[in-house]
Every structure is written in structure tokens, then in C-alpha cells.
Amino acid sequence: MGSLNDVIGKADWKTEKHVPVIECPSEVKADAMFDIKVSVGKEIAHPNTTAHHITWIALYFHADGEKFAHQIGRYDFMAHGEAVEGADAGPVHTHHQVITTMATKKSGKLLAVSMCNIHGLWQNEKDVRVT
């Protein structure tokens, strides 16, 4: 078996519905809180059915010059229309999108990983510069 890097999908989110999209400022002030929105299927909708859905998104920040990344959060999406009556008969669906807030003293890279129950892991990244 290869490394985890060998099985994580990477592509342009504008043409691949599984890639997480990271939306936040590219430049932030040191120690100032800023919002980060991470979603899957921004350009091409991803299904949200019992059989095919995004199960979670994890967000990390890797500060320049640091050895390890810091986990910002992991967000589980638990309702995909499941019900006693059967698949997709339930009244509740979550949407694979999260908004969170953070601050940093250092420039670095945001890394988002999403998990599709059928098509596995997908990653995207965005640089954030502290001014």
C-alpha cells in the first residue's frame, strides 16, 4: 500500500465536485479573527443522498516554518435523508458546508480535506498571508 498522499484526490474545484472550496481573505492582520467558509460542490453540485454524500470536512492550518499543521476543526454531516421508511425518505438533510473563525500570528496554508462515502478523500489548500 502506498501513502495517504497516493489516495487523496486533488483537482480544480471548478471542474470536480468532490474538492473542498476554501473561501477566506488571502491577507489577514496578525491575531485578528477572520471567517473561513469550506464547502463541497460549489460549481458542480455534489449529491446529498443516503447512497452518495459527503460525510465530513476537516480543516487544518500549517504555519510557515512549523513542522506540523494545526487542526482547526472537523465537521461531520450526519443527515442524508435516512429514515425508518427507507433511504432518502427522511425529513432531514445536512449540507456539506461549514463556516468557522480563526486567528493566526503567522502566514501559512489552510488545508481542507473532504470525505465522500463513495469516492474517498479530496484535498484543497489556500495560502493566507499575515500583514
State pLDDT tens for residues 64-83.
999 999 999 999 999 999 99
Query: Catalytic residue at 29?
Result: no
Query: Catalytic residue at 116?
Result: yes
Query: Catalytic residue at 96?
Result: no
Q: Which pLDDT belongs to residue 7?
A: 84
- pLDDT above 70 covers a percentage of the chain that reads 99
pTM of the model: 0.93
Other CB atoms within 10 A of residue 114 CB = 29
pLDDT tens figures, 94-120: 999 999 999 999 999 999 999 999 999
Confidence of residue 11 (pLDDT cuts 50, 70, 90): confident
Strands 120-130 and 27-28, how do they pair?
A: parallel
Q: How far apart are CA 57 and CA 114, in angstroms?
A: 4
Query: Catalytic residue at 70?
Result: no
Q: Which domains does the chain have, with CATH numbers?
A: 4-130 (2.60.40.730)
Confidence of residue 1 (pLDDT cuts 50, 70, 90): low
In this prediction, residues 23-45 reach a mean pLDDT of 97
